[in-house]
Structure 1
Amino acid sequence: MRNLKTDVTFGAYLDVRELSFIRSFAKGGCVSSIYTPPITAEFLRRVSFKVSHGEVHGIIGASGSGKSTLLKVIAGRLEGKVDGVVWLNGQLLTKPRFSALCEYVDLNSPLLPNLTVEQTLHYHARLALNCKPETVNYRVFTLMQQFDLGPIAEKVVNSLKEADSRRLVIAMHLVRDPVLVIIDDPIKNLDALSAFQLMSSLQDYCKRQARMALVSMKCPRSDIYQLLTQLTLLFYGEVVYSGPSKQMPHYFNSIGFKCPSVENPAVYYLSLASVDRETPESYAETQTKAMKLAEIFRERRDSLPLLNPPGGLPSEMPILSCFYGAPSNASRVATLFSRQLTYVGRSGCFVFGQFILPLIVLILALFGTSVNNRSWHIPRSIAGSSFALILFSGLAGVWATCIQFNDLRKSMFFENSLGLYNGILIFFVFLLLGVILDVLSVGMAAFSFVWKLTDDVQIEDFVSLFGIIWCAYYFYKLITLASFVCLRSSQKVLLFGTHLAVFMSIICSGFLKSYQSFLSVSNYMSPITYISIERFSNHRMAQDFVNATKVQNCSRDEFHEFSSVNNFCRWTKGKNYLQETLPENITLPEWWIGPLLLVSVTFFIGAFFLLITQKCAQKRIGKFH
């Protein structure tokens, strides 16, 4: 357990000194970027300000002034050249230290839509804190009180208003009791009452817990202005003013810019730090004035007593998350499994996805035939039914996973970006619960198909068909999970999985394209199909069911007399059909080949989730937005 009692004190403070940020980015598309040099721009220039415990520090400025960039640079979420330093309690604020002690709040964080507010906050606390259930419950109860979440505790997340959703997300990030919380524009597009409720709750939390909040906003109203302890006004990455919000009018009055008594000081001085783009003359004039204000402040900031009030630091006190430490992986797996069960019970889409396979197989069984049919086409009919069964089992695995894992994928990246767990845990939990639920789904599918196929349900036939369907279904379930890691859009995942299943069934099943045709083209085509689940599944179906078919009252070739065309057949039994479609050097696979292939793919796909880093998850969350 890591102990930071000597690392962070109760009276923490943030000191940003001479922070500059330069970044290069390519212009145009992939081709033009090859011969076009990248553009280098300075987004921040010598930004300095301080935040003390118990304060809500506002970063204000017009659009493009560098507010969001400043917050992301402090949080270590932007790549580029950074000059200057950021101190937290006299120590350099590095990325690992920020992850351990601070929180960057993404208000668009994806949450599981079918959980209630209380369930969402409670499970998040169990993933973040390693402490007794009573302590977790008290922490959740306290945050729900402080952020007015009690009246909506039983509401489902996807039915929340925007203001309620933002208060919930902020409360989730405060579960670990971070020293510093950074929020980009928390009141954007909120009505006056909701914005005041959110900022008032945040201010009250910071005062009670002696924590710091750094928030950005474009144009705070007068009531919000009163809640901000300090303000930093930016103009194109430069500081025009930084200090106590109550001293802001006095400072600008001292340099000849007095705020009218009927004006909101924040809005009035923000207008001074903005450019008028109506005409070239007005643009040049307002830009020159704003740059002059930034230059004046840079010259006078260290000499004004009102901007540098004296103050000491109280006694040391550990923060909650570092005191209790992080929960073990076993505890996280138990929490994720419990949450998954709750989510399944409240999600109609998840339940629907679970019954896609038995519904499709039931339809195939109703339109299928039986091995006891003695008609001349029965070997190929049974082979066609087997082909359709394997194909649609794979497609059902793709479609069900797209429905069931889409919301979980977003939640996984969000929680991984916070460092709560590695993606391999959600992969393990999803498959573990899937095994339990899929036994019922695959069992129903196997029972309905074997009942139609054999007109009787024998235990050997049922077990054989159960294993075949399971291998095809889970193979494409794993492929779809890997696609969710690599592809951004769920529609692309659906299309990729569907096309792959159809393509592999055509190439590797041996039904639509015989292996004999492979050998006629190249001796290297046929061995490629060994790594496909379609080859194993269709061959096992052929051995167990096509091989059992027989044709009556027919002549196999035209050299024997037959009374009518109906008496002529191509195959007298299933074995003749298999001898025709399979080359002599191809043997039927052993039963263990399919499970071995499935286990190998499971470990390979698990590596995809294991390699999801916190930085990778943060980038993926940004792309979701």
Structure 2
Amino acid sequence: MIAGDYVLELCNVFYSGQVESGSCFQRMLGNIKTGIILKDVSMTVHSGEVLAVLGSKGSGKKALLDVISRRARGPIRGQILLNNQPMSLCLFQQRCGYVTHKCDLIPGLTVAQTLYYTPTKISGYLKKSKVKQVMADLALSQVANKCTEDLTLSEYRRLTIGIQLIKDPVILLLDEPTWDLDPLNTYLVVSILSNAAKKYGTAMILTMEKPRSDVFPFLERVLYLCLGDVVYTGGTRQMLEYFNAIGFPCPQLENPLMYYLCLSTVDRRSRERFMESNHQIAQLVEKFKIEGGAFRKSSNITGPNSTINHALGHGNKIPLLIGKPSSCSTGWNIYMRLLSATVSFKKAGMRQMFLRLFLVPLYFLLLWTFYREMQNFQRTYITRSGLVLNCLMGVYLLGIVNAILLYPTYRTRYYQESQEGMYGGTLFLLTYNLLSIPFSFITVLGGAAIIYPLIGSFDTPIDYICFASVLWACYLFTEQQTMAILMIVKDYLTTAIFSIYITCVCVTLGSGILRSIKGLQDWLYYATYATQVRYASAYLNKKVFSSPVLNQPLPFDYHHNCSSLNPEISLRDAVTNPFCRYFNGHSFLTERYTRDHADAFNRIWDEEFNIGITFAFAVGIILFNGFLYLIPLPSFVKARFRE
């Protein structure tokens, strides 16, 4: 690829969109203030050139990048052409790149891994060679094995640029790549971009709010915007000639980029200055429309490639669409990226391993220390019921905690990459579940082994497997429930509170532990059938209170025996013998769960049915999440995750 192979043109582009931020409710109602953001913008940039879009805050710099990338939400008029072909969203995603101002990378991955696991059409040895080349070009080779969270701001910005360069874009948009960088790193980043543009034949379009004089030699083109109007666009050196010709020469020893930026900025220090500067800028805009045509297509590049090959760029439409990587290849890249970030021996990786593997066993070990001294007296019915409640609430809450602490990082990265058309939500969710579900099974299995001896005397290993599986299904349910909420709610704390609230309500009503199910009103009683905890709790309670130890009358303590109680204990018996409330586990469960139906007990305690329904809830919410990620999100929700 050589300079002149590709040309991007904007012809008389108008864009109307949101000019003031609004609340979520206002976005839902469409009650937000809109206006014209870009007004009759025309510009040209060729392969191998660097174009700087300059302007003060609110001038429309980012809106221009969003319009070119087809991310803008609002009506657009005019033409955006790449080699005389309309710039569609598909074309931009396949052949162009966009480095946003804020890009969240996955912690735990090294620089080399971050670049290597970026989905592209090349793989294997070719991709490794490409990664090494890009790292060398961006001065990242010396930090190739450094984790993303340990990078300096300059290194982090260069890495985000490298993620796009690894895909060989013909046009690369960069939103404020030098923001908050010191002068040395600003010079380094811009010089690297200039060298990369010429080496790869990529047209670079970057926005800058405060350009320094030392970056002037690296900019072939410049575009000045003021409130959406074009004050000047064309070659940077020709800019000096143009403004000198219209009576605004740049003073000696002044930074020309900054001088003409101030000239293109509305002065708001007083009403008089505002009116004067506004009138002057309006004159500059009109003057450039009349006299700027010759400067618009000029640049600093000289030589055989200084002009566009019109036969190639306009007369013949060369094929631009090259297709996307296969879903299998992309899914493998995403899965390996997740796995590498999780099993990393760096700080972020160790944190993830602890949360995924050791948090649940640690919780059950804590439970074991509190419940290991249980004795077989009447109070053990309440104690064992509390143990079942703590087991259920533990896996439910830890499923929420793991989703809150681990999932948002990958979710945010997915939202950013999905705008580039790399993959869809279903593929992302599938790869995440392929990693998360095995880890969750291992950790719950280990935790269940700790608490299992206290639950009851089960006869076979199958009982232990069923016990652990029920807890695992509960863990999966709240994890997936929280992931579903995180799809549309950006704030982690809000999501956690909402998910915990739903879970606590379900446990309170459906578990039969905090309050008797048979004492609920009819509509609440039947509503419990729609909760997973009803079936999981029924299975666990049945296994606990059907153990041989609890099938006989238990004494109140060492001095009060209950063996003379009749199994069909009545209110009169309870009054005359206040120490012994429950004859056995069967009577305890009858009080907590059954209503006035002769066969209610048999229907409620069907073990296979309860296990099946408990897993049906977990599988159902996994499938629901997959369906949820297929539905296009409303624009006001997407706006929360744009960056």
The two structures have a TM-score, normalised by structure 1, of 0.90
Decide whether aligned partners of structure 1 residues 138 and 399 sit closer, same or farther in structure 2, where only a CA change above 3 A counts: same
- Out of 572, 581, 601, the residue aligned to residue 621 of structure 2 is 601
1:456, CA displacement in angstroms?
Answer: 7.8
Give the Cα separation in 2 of the matches to 1:111 and 1:285: 46
1:467, CA displacement in angstroms?
Answer: 1.8
Q: Which residue of 2 aligns with 1:121?
A: 115
Q: Which residue of 2 aligns with 1:445?
A: 447
Residue deviations 1:429-470 (CA, integer Å, cap 9, x gap): 222223322332112221111212336884143123112211
Moved more, 430-439 or 338-347: 430-439
1:426, CA displacement in angstroms?
Answer: 2.8
1:311, CA displacement in angstroms?
Answer: 3.6
1:246, CA displacement in angstroms?
Answer: 0.8
Give the Cα separation in 1 of the matches to 2:252 and 2:208: 23
Give yes or no for contact 1:508–1:534 (8 Å, CA) kept in 2: yes
Q: Which residue of 1 aligns with 2:430?
A: 428
Give yes or no for contact 1:353–1:401 (8 Å, CA) kept in 2: no
Give the Cα separation in 2 of the matches to 1:327 and 1:536: 44
Give the Cα separation in 1 of the matches to 2:376 and 2:391: 21
1:30, CA displacement in angstroms?
Answer: 7.7
1:81, CA displacement in angstroms?
Answer: 2.3
Q: Which residue of 1 aligns with 2:329?
A: 331
State the SS of the aligned residue for 2:546.
Answer: helix
Q: Structure 2: which amino acid aligns with 1:402?
A: I
Give yes or no for contact 2:235–2:296 (8 Å, CA) kept in 1: no
State the SS of the aligned residue for 1:610.
Answer: coil
1:299, CA displacement in angstroms?
Answer: 0.6
Q: Which residue of 2 aligns with 1:480?
A: 482
State the SS of the aligned residue for 1:274.
Answer: coil
RMSD: 3.2
Q: Structure 2: which amino acid aligns with 1:291?
A: A
1:78 aligns with 2:89: no
Q: Which residue of 1 aligns with 2:362?
A: 359
Q: Which residue of 2 aligns with 1:312?
A: 309
State the SS of the aligned residue for 2:174.
Answer: strand
| Correspondence 1:183-582 to 2 at 5 A | 183-302=174-293, 307=298, 310-312=307-309, 325-346=323-344, 347-354=349-356, 355-368=358-371, 373-454=375-456, 458-518=460-520, 521-522=521-522, 524-548=523-547, 549=550, 550-552=552-554, 553-554=561-562, 555-556=564-565, 568-581=579-592, 582=594
Unaligned runs of 5+ residues in structure 2 are 300-305, 555-560
Give yes or no for contact 1:505–1:534 (8 Å, CA) kept in 2: yes
Give yes or no for contact 1:114–1:157 (8 Å, CA) kept in 2: yes
| Correspondence 1:27-106 to 2 at 5 A | 39-106=33-100
Decide whether aligned partners of structure 1 residues 314 and 166 sit closer, same or farther in structure 2, where only a CA change above 3 A counts: farther
**What is the aligned length?**
608
State the SS of the aligned residue for 1:17.
Answer: strand
Give the Cα separation in 2 of the matches to 1:559 and 1:399: 44
Give the Cα separation in 1 of the matches to 2:167 and 2:212: 30
Moved more, 492-501 or 208-217: 492-501
1:573, CA displacement in angstroms?
Answer: 0.7
- Out of 127, 137, 145, the residue aligned to residue 128 of structure 2 is 137
State the SS of the aligned residue for 2:496.
Answer: helix
Give the Cα separation in 2 of the matches to 1:485 and 1:376: 47
Q: Structure 2: which amino acid aligns with 1:578?
A: L
State the SS of the aligned residue for 1:486.
Answer: coil
State the SS of the aligned residue for 2:475.
Answer: helix
1:476, CA displacement in angstroms?
Answer: 1.0
State the SS of the aligned residue for 1:498.
Answer: helix
1:428, CA displacement in angstroms?
Answer: 1.9
Give the Cα separation in 2 of the matches to 1:29 and 1:344: 36
Q: Structure 2: which amino acid aligns with 1:388?
A: N
* Identity score, percent: 25
Give yes or no for contact 2:538–2:604 (8 Å, CA) kept in 1: no
Give yes or no for contact 1:112–1:407 (8 Å, CA) kept in 2: yes
Give yes or no for contact 1:242–1:307 (8 Å, CA) kept in 2: no
Give the Cα separation in 2 of the matches to 1:75 and 1:68: 11
State the SS of the aligned residue for 1:367.
Answer: helix
1:18 aligns with 2:25: no
Decide whether aligned partners of structure 1 residues 97 and 472 sit closer, same or farther in structure 2, where only a CA change above 3 A counts: same
Give the Cα separation in 1 of the matches to 2:144 and 2:124: 18
Give the Cα separation in 2 of the matches to 1:224 and 1:457: 77
Q: Which residue of 1 aligns with 2:104?
A: 110
State the SS of the aligned residue for 1:545.
Answer: helix
Unaligned runs of 5+ residues in structure 1 are none
The two structures have a TM-score, normalised by structure 2, of 0.87
Residue deviations 1:186-215 (CA, integer Å, cap 9, x gap): 112211111111111111111122221111
Decide whether aligned partners of structure 1 residues 88 and 146 sit closer, same or farther in structure 2, where only a CA change above 3 A counts: same
Q: Structure 1: which amino acid aligns with 2:107?
A: P
Give yes or no for contact 1:116–1:157 (8 Å, CA) kept in 2: yes
Give the Cα separation in 2 of the matches to 1:398 and 1:296: 61
Q: Structure 2: which amino acid aligns with 1:572?
A: F
Decide whether aligned partners of structure 1 residues 15 and 318 sit closer, same or farther in structure 2, where only a CA change above 3 A counts: closer
Give the Cα separation in 1 of the matches to 2:637 and 2:421: 9
1:336, CA displacement in angstroms?
Answer: 2.3
State the SS of the aligned residue for 1:113.
Answer: coil
Residue deviations 1:125-182 (CA, integer Å, cap 9, x gap): xx222x3401111111111111111111111101111111111001101211111111
- Out of 156, 171, 175, the residue aligned to residue 162 of structure 2 is 171
